[in-house]
Structure 1
């Protein structure tokens, strides 16, 4: 079963690498300041993201409507 097919799981998509600098500039942050997701996370595996990728997560909120979050995929420590 695909994790993403569950109704409670928000949409996850990989941001193209060339768009990452624009995202960081928009929010005036450095890459390492983004919240992290491990490369072993089931959704990270499903979308085939690798360490260094940034995922855009789009959720529906009953109070705020559609909200967008960004997460940096990091490698699991050996």
Structure 2
């Protein structure tokens, strides 16, 4: 039985690991700081799938999420990885 990659499911939006060199530009564009971004846990299935592509993704990395909606179009969201238990 093959392992299922959650990123290939039609209901899961596209997830991308932002290069560290590009993080400052994104934060400037959003007029925010990394600590103000919503969190996504490193145990999230989408992050685990990204780890198979990029290797270990530790805490405090920015993830770009691209959602496609027929009514709104394409929207980009950003999350910062965390290893803390989210409540």
RMSD: 1.0
Work out whether residues 57 and 70 of structure 1, in 8 Å CA contact, stay in contact via their aligned partners in 2: yes
Per-residue deviation, 1:53: 1.1
- Normalised to the residue count of structure 1, the TM-score between the two structures is 0.91
- Normalised to the residue count of structure 2, the TM-score between the two structures is 0.83
Alignment partner of 1:29 is 2:37: no
Name structure 2 gaps, 5 residues minimum.
Answer: 52-56
Aligned mates of 1:46, 1:2 — CA distance in 2 = 6
Work out whether residues 38 and 76 of structure 1, in 8 Å CA contact, stay in contact via their aligned partners in 2: yes
Point out the structure with max Rg over C-alpha.
Answer: 2
Work out whether residues 34 and 72 of structure 1, in 8 Å CA contact, stay in contact via their aligned partners in 2: yes
Q: After TM superposition, which residue ranges in structure 1, 4 or more long, deviate above 2 angstroms?
A: none
Residue of 1, 6, 19 corresponding to 1:3:
6
Work out whether residues 40 and 76 of structure 1, in 8 Å CA contact, stay in contact via their aligned partners in 2: no
Per-residue deviation, 1:27: 1.2
Per-residue deviation, 1:62: 1.9
Please list the CA deviations of residues 18-62 of structure 1 after superposition, one character each: whole Å capped at 9, or x if unmatched. Answer: 111111111110101001001110111110132111111111012
Per-residue deviation, 1:63: 1.5
